[in-house]
Structure 1
């Protein structure tokens, strides 16, 4: 029977003519189910918890609503006339004016087996789960990328919580099965890019951490992987290694640790490294929270991209989508736990550590970074 697929985003051939995009498999499942219900209304009992909101096509959703709303006809009467079909059409047409009597009869002809209505309903619910998960992943990605709001981190974590609730709900709707992990190839990690301000803040952290190692002892919530620039991550490891070993920390001892790790090269001279860790400004915790905040937002965007890739792969079952997405979200939650430790107030039972307020921008080192720091980006 003829169908009317959406062509609003259809690609074009080289000659500029628009090609009609083939409908998704769920389109045919919706047609088959509606055909089964129009042919044998009693099959509505086989659709379980299916609602009009599960449908991808608006007209199909309107028809399903009409079928569920109107009393089912007697089988004998339904076999003799089309009165009930006419009522269904009249009920659905105000919400889907493109519907016609011929389309309803075409749906009946298209249905392979009315007794398979339950299977068609499962396909519709599975595709709705895929679309729902993709929508929430896109919201998470968009929120993580939008830093214009008053509190991007809180907004991102709210979206992550919403995504987690969706996963919990879907987990209860679809039974587990062997091979629960998605078969989608892992996405290629995208390198993080930072601004000049991000560069300055990471440099400020390294310098203040070198100047105030006692505060670094309390900053186990910050990891080398949170830094944008690999050189800065390695230097942070140098500082924290000295601190946790109980060694003396100053620019020279950091230089010595960096030398042992093979960081001193023609590209990064001893003079460059000394300059990098010798101009403190503000508090290590202040700069550390900024670094961690950016890492959390970047991780949220990566997780959202990963989940979106799972939903784009039609070979994944709902259970595989849930399992893979939960694992992806766990990566974000691990960083979120560290963020909570970084930003939680100090318990009243312990004396609060002195925490300096960040100095004005006149305090940080010059905006022109040492040559080696620039090369490390």
Structure 2
């Protein structure tokens, strides 16, 4: 095996020369070293591919090992012919790879027979990276202002993330202590916060002016509104409508006082003024609020999954549990969104009454009563 270094050597077995590599880097080295020492061990591995490795160089070496025919065991211990083929093939993807690098992989492998255990560890880390990448795509979609249909695109990414989770769950069965230990990050600020404030004001004012519209939006919850006072006022409106009591700015203000919503120093006059400026329809502003709630929930879900995936103490199944719990929040808002945006089918016409069958027998006539003799 040639030891001549390349003048354009751009390969480094380390991920970052300025920081020590993570444990998975050493696991990958041990796995590749085991396969270089005993290529037959490749047949003992399941669920691992070239994409399972964290560096381009490791990926290239594994791809070469897995595509080249394994050497005869007795020949492999006598010469480095097969290792030369691995080096030549791998350098098509990692041109800076040298013979010394392959020697280093061999030297760091403790036991070649432990290759399946190394592969399982590498697969677990690959699962972590897959989840992190899927969560990053979800977060990117949430913040992409150029999307013509942001909700549908976000839901598609959420479904793709769920597919990744299902695949990981199939590979890693449940274990004890499945709950992730990673603390959840704080909820993010609502998307378009200033715009949300104005739209929520219009929602409350329009619902006050046209309380009949409140019944048409049962899918909107107080938690969908970003301002606590607005959420409380929506509760006042829905309570008054449910009790069939008069609804106007004054009755809503009184209900707000009864619920303690003005205890934070809110100016009653400003509340009255806000409730007196309706526009458009209740359904329009409610749907806008629900859409923002769904996107904000998706953003928080992505952050939670990213935090779990970044916590190296979590096992693959803990990642599955944590991710599914986070996705359940999107699912809850998604159900209400579908209810809000699904057209109501027109009522079915009442069936027409069919005429009875025609009478084919002659009506019987009453027999004459014989006179008594």
Q: In the superposition, relative to structure 1, how do residues 137 and 97 fare at CA in structure 2: closer, same or farther (>3 Å)?
A: same
TM-score by length of 1: 0.86
Q: 2:255 aligns with which of 247, 254, 257?
A: 257
Q: Matched residues in 2 for 1:66 and 1:218: separation?
A: 62
Match of 1:198 in 2: 196
Q: 1:5 aligns with which of 11, 14, 32?
A: 14
Q: In the superposition, relative to structure 1, how do residues 159 and 85 fare at CA in structure 2: closer, same or farther (>3 Å)?
A: same
Q: Check the 8 A contact 1:206/1:277 in 2, yes or no.
A: yes
Q: Matched residues in 2 for 1:302 and 1:200: separation?
A: 23
Residues paired across the two proteins, number? 339
Q: 2:288 aligns with which of 282, 290, 314?
A: 290
State which structure, 1 or 2, has the greater radius of gyration over its C-alpha atoms: 2
Q: Matched residues in 2 for 1:193 and 1:65: separation?
A: 43
Match of 2:245 in 1: 247
Q: Check the 8 A contact 2:13/2:57 in 1, yes or no.
A: no
Q: Matched residues in 1 for 2:76 and 2:264: separation?
A: 87
Q: 1:92 aligns with which of 90, 93, 100?
A: 90
Q: 2:215 aligns with which of 214, 217, 222?
A: 217
Which of 194-203 and 48-57 deviates more? 194-203
Deviations 1:41-82 (A, max 9, x none): 111112113111111111111111111111111111111111
**Residue ranges of structure 2 left out of the alignment (5+ in a row):** 1-10, 350-373
Match of 2:366 in 1: none
The residue matched to 2:161 in structure 1 has which SS?
A: helix
Q: Matched residues in 2 for 1:312 and 1:265: separation?
A: 41
Q: Matched residues in 1 for 2:194 and 2:177: separation?
A: 46
Q: Matched residues in 2 for 1:118 and 1:295: separation?
A: 45
Q: Does 1:111 align with 2:109?
A: yes
Which of 189-198 and 234-243 deviates more? 189-198
Match of 2:361 in 1: none
The residue matched to 2:196 in structure 1 has which SS?
A: helix
Which of 228-237 and 273-282 deviates more? 273-282
Deviations 1:152-206 (A, max 9, x none): 1121111111111111111111111011111112223344475443222111100
Deviations 1:232-268 (A, max 9, x none): 1100000001111222212221122112112335832
TM-score by length of 2: 0.87
Match of 2:338 in 1: 340
Match of 1:322 in 2: 320
The residue matched to 2:158 in structure 1 has which SS?
A: helix
Which of 180-189 and 24-33 deviates more? 180-189
Q: 1:145 aligns with which of 128, 143, 146?
A: 143
Which of 263-272 and 313-322 deviates more? 263-272
Match of 1:59 in 2: 57
Match of 1:274 in 2: 272
Match of 2:354 in 1: none
Q: Matched residues in 1 for 2:194 and 2:320: separation?
A: 39
Q: Check the 8 A contact 2:206/2:277 in 1, yes or no.
A: yes
Q: Matched residues in 1 for 2:25 and 2:267: separation?
A: 63
The residue matched to 2:216 in structure 1 has which SS?
A: coil
Q: Matched residues in 2 for 1:266 and 1:186: separation?
A: 28
Q: Check the 8 A contact 1:175/1:319 in 2, yes or no.
A: yes
Q: Check the 8 A contact 1:194/1:228 in 2, yes or no.
A: no
Q: In the superposition, relative to structure 1, how do residues 20 and 226 fare at CA in structure 2: closer, same or farther (>3 Å)?
A: same
Q: Check the 8 A contact 2:191/2:292 in 1, yes or no.
A: no
Match of 1:77 in 2: 75
Q: Check the 8 A contact 1:243/1:249 in 2, yes or no.
A: yes
Give the alignment of 1:43-54 within 5 angstroms: 43-54=41-52
